[in-house]
Copies of this chain bind each other. A is one copy, B any other.
Amino acid sequence: MAGRNHLFIPGPTNTPHEVLSAMHLPMEDHRSPIFPDLFKPILADLKKIFRTETGQCFVFPATGTAGWEVALTNCLNPGDKVLIYRFGQFSHLWIEMAKRLGFTVEFHEVEWGKGIPLDDLEARLKADTGHEIKAVLATHNETSTGVTSDIGGVRKALDAANHPALLFVDGVSSIASIEFRHDDWGVDAAISGSQKGFMLPAGAAILAFSQKALAAASTSTYPRAFLSLQDQINTNKDGYTPYTPSTPMLHGLRKSLELLLAEGIDNIYARHHRLAEGVRRAVAAWGLEICAQPGFESDTVTAIVVPADKDAREVISIAFKKYNISLGAGLSEVSGKVFRIGHIGDMNDVSLLGAIAGVEMALLDSGIAIQPGSGVGAALEYYRATA
**B residues less than 8 Å from A132 (CB atoms):** none
Which of A1, A6, A21, A346: most chain B Cβ within 10 A? A21
Taking a contact as CB atoms under 8 Å apart, the answer to whether A244 and B377 are in contact is no
Taking a contact as CB atoms under 8 Å apart, the answer to whether B378 and A203 are in contact is no
Q: Answer yes or no: A384 CB below 8 A from chain B CBs.
A: yes
Interface segment among A119-127, A133-141, A179-187, A354-362: the answer is A354-362
Q: Answer yes or no: A341 CB below 8 A from chain B CBs.
A: no
Given A225-B101, A246-B203 in contact, is the A14-B24 Cβ separation under 8 Å?
no
Residue of B nearest to A259 (CB): B2
Taking a contact as CB atoms under 8 Å apart, the answer to whether A15 and B21 are in contact is no
Chain A interface residue count, Cβ-Cβ cutoff 8 angstroms: 104
**B residues less than 8 Å from A69 (CB atoms):** 225-226
Least Cβ–Cβ distance between A309 and chain B, in angstroms:
21
Q: Which of B21, B224, B320, B384 contacts A25 (CB 8 A)?
A: B21
Taking a contact as CB atoms under 8 Å apart, the answer to whether A244 and B202 are in contact is yes
Taking a contact as CB atoms under 8 Å apart, the answer to whether B384 and A380 are in contact is no
Taking a contact as CB atoms under 8 Å apart, the answer to whether B380 and A360 are in contact is yes
**When each residue 366-387 of chain A gets 1 if its CB lies under 8 Å from chain B and 0 otherwise, what string results?**
0000011111111011011001
Residue of B nearest to A221 (CB): B102
Q: Answer yes or no: A351 CB below 8 A from chain B CBs.
A: yes
Q: Answer yes or no: A308 CB below 8 A from chain B CBs.
A: no
> How far, in whole Å, are A346 and B27 apart by their CA atoms in the complex?
12
Q: Answer yes or no: A337 CB below 8 A from chain B CBs.
A: no
Taking a contact as CB atoms under 8 Å apart, the answer to whether B100 and A223 are in contact is yes
Interface residues of A in 207-231 (CB under 8 A from B): 223-228
**B residues less than 8 Å from A53 (CB atoms):** none
> How far, in whole Å, are A225 and B224 apart by their CA atoms in the complex?
12
Residue of B nearest to A6 (CB): B350
> How far, in whole Å, are A290 and B359 apart by their CA atoms in the complex?
28
**B residues less than 8 Å from A1 (CB atoms):** 348
Q: Answer yes or no: A239 CB below 8 A from chain B CBs.
A: no
Interface CB pairs A-B, < 8 A, 7:
A2-B347, A12-B27, A15-B27, A21-B21, A64-B244, A349-B361, A354-B354
**6 smallest A-B Cβ distances: which pairs?**
A373-B377, A3-B348, A354-B354, A373-B373, A353-B357, A372-B377
Q: Which residues of A approach B to under 8 Å, CB–CB? A: 1-7, 9, 11-18, 20-33, 61-66, 68-69, 96-97, 100-102, 193, 195, 201-203, 223-228, 242-249, 259, 263, 268, 271, 317, 320-326, 329, 346-351, 353-358, 360-361, 364-365, 371-378, 380-381, 383-384, 387
